[in-house]
Structure 1
């Protein structure tokens, strides 16, 4: 199978305007993400899906391939689906979505994810989970939880602490077996097209989780277990400071 990587990068951001071009220790964030992906997955074609010429001008300086997409996409999934159509990629190709605001995404995790995909005899869609490490995380609606079947496929994603323990007090729950979702996705191109063309569904709108549309449509989502939660992405000015601090530490190691 041919595995490709698309990094969706949107210029407009309510909290951080021009977020893809924020300087992170001498490099724009989108450039750092691209370089990290290429280092982790040198065998995979990688490009950036963008919506603003200001991003493409910077990418040209670093000789990074890109595709211009519409500005009105609701999600990165829709943006990647447009890239697949524009590029004319084969329906059996696999596309990995790596968010453009994840400059510290672990390279080992990306490599393991590709191995995980290639080991599947029949693959439709995939993502990653990590152990829930605290009760506060389990109860945090900003952290998405996932429940999987014995075959390792997603049964449900929720902002609620699922599975719910009926006979145990919330403060006494044992965390073993609880999984939090990591927002890296892979899709077979024809499956991605089906998901992108379908309208939002009730459970998706209630939870505000677009992956629930795939489950509702009957798509099998294979879930790779990773041993730890990767570093948080960049959503706020405080996140920028944290990432720069980590990059400085890595540079000094």
Structure 2
């Protein structure tokens, strides 16, 4: 299987300044992400950034780096710029691996690419895992999704979905959670380069703006998103100082 990985790595971060260059276990955060991508079996791994400081740091540990425009609104647009500039074929597969996921298992990166390789009718592939904890299901920072019987995404939401209408007990939120249908979305995407280009040309949809979930733009415009289910979800990404400390502790424990 031939696929590529692009890691969008923006230096500016509101909640955690200079996030991608913060050190974990003696390495910048983005290096851990790059090493995970390299371990996935990808034929090419590119770090895409709009900042020369990030580019210089990445080149020092041997990464291929592309300097992209500073005007992009999302990492997806940054990935698209790399794909277009590199001249990748429209049927090539590229995985968008966010630059703040240092604990992403390489096997999941490959799994996302494999899903798209195996499904010619899909435009995008992503992953999810079963949700069991009520607090996660109710947490708006945990993105939930529902699928059709063939494994294609129907909807993504920050709300607890699906919601059991007639629970045994109406006084407990847990009674509304259908455990067999509750899934958490893993923010890892594989695209066909042609679909990625089409997606990047589309304006944000109302649903996307409402939920602040970019993947809803794809569903709004009829893209087919294939979802793979894993029982081995990645640990948390890094958005805050607390996350950074937690990830560092997990790495020390390995």
Band the TM-score falls in, shorter-chain normalisation? over 0.9
CA distance in 2 between counterparts of 1:42 and 1:2 reads 9
Task: State the match for 2:179 in structure 1.
Answer: 175
Cα RMSD between the aligned structures? 1.4
1:69 aligned to 2:71? no
Gap runs ≥5 in structure 1? none
Pairing of 1:158-197 with structure 2 (within 5 A): 158-168=157-167, 169=170, 170-173=173-176, 174-197=178-201
Task: State the match for 1:79 in structure 2.
Answer: 78
1:210 aligned to 2:209? no
SS at the partner of 1:206? Answer: helix
Contact between 2:46 and 2:65, CA under 8 Å: does it hold in 1?
A: yes
Contact between 1:146 and 1:157, CA under 8 Å: does it hold in 2?
A: yes
Task: State the match for 2:32 in structure 1.
Answer: 32
Question: Closer, same or farther in 2 for the Cα pair 1:99/1:43, shift >3 Å?
Answer: closer
TM-score under structure 2 length normalisation = 0.94
SS at the partner of 2:236? Answer: coil
- Deviation digits for residues 22-68 of structure 1 (CA, Å, limit 9, x no counterpart): 111111111111012111x2343111011100011111211210111
CA distance in 1 between counterparts of 2:181 and 2:17 reads 39
- Deviation digits for residues 80-139 of structure 1 (CA, Å, limit 9, x no counterpart): 111111111111111101110111112232233333333223331011001111121111
Q: CA deviation at 1:224?
A: 0.5
Question: Closer, same or farther in 2 for the Cα pair 1:59/1:195, shift >3 Å?
Answer: same
Task: State the match for 2:243 in structure 1.
Answer: 239
1:200 aligned to 2:204? yes
Question: Closer, same or farther in 2 for the Cα pair 1:43/1:73, shift >3 Å?
Answer: closer
Task: State the match for 2:10 in structure 1.
Answer: 10
Pairing of 1:103-182 with structure 2 (within 5 A): 103-168=102-167, 169=170, 170-173=173-176, 174-182=178-186
CA distance in 2 between counterparts of 1:122 and 1:165 reads 31
Contact between 1:134 and 1:175, CA under 8 Å: does it hold in 2?
A: no
Deviates more, 1:115-124 or 1:129-138: 115-124
- Deviation digits for residues 212-246 of structure 1 (CA, Å, limit 9, x no counterpart): 00001100000000114311101111111111111
CA distance in 1 between counterparts of 2:201 and 2:115 reads 27
Q: How many residues align?
A: 249
Q: CA deviation at 1:142?
A: 1.0
CA distance in 2 between counterparts of 1:222 and 1:122 reads 9
Q: CA deviation at 1:179?
A: 0.7
Task: State the match for 2:231 in structure 1.
Answer: 227
CA distance in 2 between counterparts of 1:211 and 1:5 reads 18
TM-score under structure 1 length normalisation = 0.94
Question: Closer, same or farther in 2 for the Cα pair 1:22/1:183, shift >3 Å?
Answer: same
SS at the partner of 2:253? Answer: helix
